[in-house]
């Protein structure tokens, strides 16, 4: 204890000799941050986001006054805590003319979803026979076998690969368009920027429409006539004034809600955890590595805020980001405890080969999992995909990690025995609905996950070395 006291006194003396007064790091920055990020502190932010939603027709969706007010609140909190704040702009597409996308089968029209607002059918629609690959995913030429698809509309399911890969394989073989059977929009089907990569008409149909197609051998007619317009959105970014700016610890959460939803858990809970961590850390902490906080726009519209941000960083900007920590909803009422599967130890996602996961991601997972285990919650693996705000960072080679308590997925019997709660029910039955309010955020859950986020940020702000550290970047 005497040695520790002497070291502390010496540190204070040396600090007084510097020209810039920077707070000295506590003995355990990670542990101190985890202790300081409290449920009450995070709920203060959730209450303010609730006020924003209530004042704007119950929504904080991107492109609405509710989102603009959310930006004002987040930026205000950061500025009050000494941060220089950027609200960087980016352009995205929205629906300008809804048209009437329709698939006519046997003389009866069925509404369909137009996959890309940039790609329409010719005026009057597109009439063609339907053809199915031998393997329904239609991801590779081998899936088609001997099937002849030239001049046809190909019908595929939503498994195995992205809609872009399905379309590319089909059109290479001569198809004039693609019908994707999907009632749920399976994760990985719509990858960031997919709509810009679709060159042929692609429609998403339900299983009920697919059943009608199977009952006829006659040609069908596809009309895709919805059109897009360009709008401007904004991200909110703030970085500490101290720490190595060439080795940035970055953490982000989606700021916007879904349409017609206040979005207080999804993802107000992630926003609250990062805001409170930023407030407790301060703008000039004694850290080895700079910390950058990001609050993404247009997340509910396809993770466009994070995708456009990474695309705009350039090679040098990407190299400066040591890691990216993504914070998804972390206060779900029927909570699971999931860490991103950085070491690929869980059931692998065929769309994310193990070799494509940046080195260091496994260490971030171990850091989060270690905290959760000590808090009494044994975590499970969250499979990595090609969607989510972490995806563009992962694609750029940045080590990634993250935490979520789940949304629409259903809790299994095994998970209910592990974590409590109701098996067979969604982790958050309120996500993207008007019921996603502050009364449907679980305080006990947030009291574990919020500090876990702060602990991870504090850990890597101090050092990116050690057993859970990061390898040298190529």
DSSP class of residue 319 equals H
Enumerate residues 6+ apart whose C-beta is below 8 A from 261: 58, 59, 60, 61, 431, 432, 433, 434, 436
Spatial separation of the C-alpha atoms in residues 79 and 98, rounded to whole Å = 40
Contact (CB, 8 A) for 403 and 450: no
Query: CATH fold of 22-93+232-462, please?
Result: Aminopeptidase (3.40.630)
Q: Specify the pLDDT at position 299.
A: 85
Q: Specify the pLDDT at position 101.
A: 97
Spatial separation of the C-alpha atoms in residues 92 and 307, rounded to whole Å = 11
Task: Record the pTM.
Answer: 0.76
pLDDT per position in the chain (474 positions), as tens? Answer: 333 433 343 343 333 433 444 555 446 999 999 999 999 999 999 999 999 999 999 999 999 999 999 999 999 999 999 999 999 999 887 888 999 999 999 999 999 999 999 999 999 999 999 999 999 999 999 999 999 999 999 999 999 999 999 999 999 999 999 999 998 767 778 887 788 899 999 999 999 999 999 999 999 999 999 998 888 999 999 999 999 999 999 999 999 999 999 999 999 999 999 999 999 999 999 999 999 999 999 987 778 899 999 999 999 999 999 999 999 999 999 999 999 999 999 987 888 889 999 999 999 999 999 999 999 999 999 999 988 999 999 999 999 999 999 999 999 999 999 999 999 999 999 999 999 999 999 999 999 999 999 999 999 999 999 999 998 876
Spatial separation of the C-alpha atoms in residues 213 and 266, rounded to whole Å = 37
Q: Is 185 exposed, middle or buried (0-12, 13-18, 19+ CB in 10 A)?
A: middle
Q: Specify the pLDDT at position 405.
A: 98
- CATH, domain 99-225, list 3.50.30.30, 1.10.10.10, 1.20.1250.40, 3.30.450.40: 3.50.30.30
Inter-axis angle of helices 443-462 and 361-374, nearest 10: 130
Angle, alpha carbons 128-132-133 (nearest 5°): 135
Spatial separation of the C-alpha atoms in residues 324 and 398, rounded to whole Å = 7
Q: Specify the pLDDT at position 4.
A: 40
Contact (CB, 8 A) for 421 and 401: no
Spatial separation of the C-alpha atoms in residues 202 and 186, rounded to whole Å = 16
> Does the CA dihedral 317-320-322-325 come out positive or negative?
negative
Domain ranges of the chain: 22-93+232-462, 99-225
Q: Specify the pLDDT at position 27.
A: 63
DSSP H or E run through 16: helix 2-16
Residue ranges of E strands in 280-368: 289-296, 321-327, 338-340
DSSP H or E run through 49: helix 39-54
Q: Specify the pLDDT at position 396.
A: 94
């Amino acid at each position: 204890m005497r040695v520790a006291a002497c070291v502390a006194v010496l540190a204070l003396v040396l600090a007084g000799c510097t020209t810039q007064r920077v707070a000295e790091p506590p003995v355990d920055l990670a542990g101190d941050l985890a202790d300081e990020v409290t449920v009450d502190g995070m709920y203060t932010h959730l209450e303010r986001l609730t006020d924003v939603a209530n004042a704007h027709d119950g929504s904080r969706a991107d492109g609405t006054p509710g989102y603009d007010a959310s930006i004002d609140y987040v930026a205000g909190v950061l500025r009050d805590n000494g941060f220089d704040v950027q609200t960087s702009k980016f352009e995205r597409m929205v629906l300008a003319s809804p048209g009437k996308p329709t698939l006519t089968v046997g003389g009866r029209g069925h509404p369909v979803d137009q996959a890309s607002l940039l790609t329409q059918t010719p005026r009057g629609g597109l009439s063609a026979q339907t053809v199915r690959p031998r393997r329904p995913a239609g991801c590779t030429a081998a899936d088609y076998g001997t099937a002849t698809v030239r001049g046809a509309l190909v019908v595929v399911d939503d498994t195995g690969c992205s809609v872009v890969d399905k379309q590319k394989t089909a059109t290479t073989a001569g198809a004039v368009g693609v019908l994707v059977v999907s009632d749920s929009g399976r994760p990985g089907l719509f990858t960031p920027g997919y709509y810009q990569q679709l060159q042929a008409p692609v429609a998403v149909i339900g299983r009920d429409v697919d059943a009608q197609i199977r009952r006829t051998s006659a040609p069908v007619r596809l009309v895709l006539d919805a059109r897009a317009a360009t709008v401007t959105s904004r991200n909110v970014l703030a970085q500490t004034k101290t720490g190595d700016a060439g080795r940035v610890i970055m953490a982000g959460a989606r700021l916007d809600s879904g349409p017609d939803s206040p979005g207080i858990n999804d993802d107000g809970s992630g926003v609250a955890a990062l805001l409170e961590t930023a407030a407790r850390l301060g703008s000039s902490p004694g850290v080895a590595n700079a910390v950058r906080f990001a609050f993404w726009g247009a997340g509910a519209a396809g993770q466009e805020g994070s995708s456009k941000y990474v695309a705009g960083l350039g090679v040098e900007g990407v190299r400066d980001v040591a890691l990216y920590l993504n914070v998804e909803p972390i206060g779900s009422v029927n909570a699971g405890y999931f860490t991103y599967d950085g070491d690929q130890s869980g059931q692998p996602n065929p769309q994310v080969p193990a070799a494509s996961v940046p080195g260091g991601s496994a260490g971030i997972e171990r850091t989060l999992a270690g905290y959760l285990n000590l808090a009494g919650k044994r975590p499970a693996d969250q499979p990595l995909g090609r969607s989510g705000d972490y995806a563009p960072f992962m694609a750029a080679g940045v080590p990634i990690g993250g935490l979520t308590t789940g949304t629409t997925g259903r809790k299994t019997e095994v998970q209910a025995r592990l974590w409590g709660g109701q098996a067979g029910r969604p982790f958050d039955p309120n996500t993207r609905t008007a019921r996603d309010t502050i009364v449907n955020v679980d305080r006990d859950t947030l009291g574990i996950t919020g500090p876990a986020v702060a602990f991870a940020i504090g850990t890597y702000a101090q050092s990116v070395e050690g057993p859970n550290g990061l390898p040298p970047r190529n």
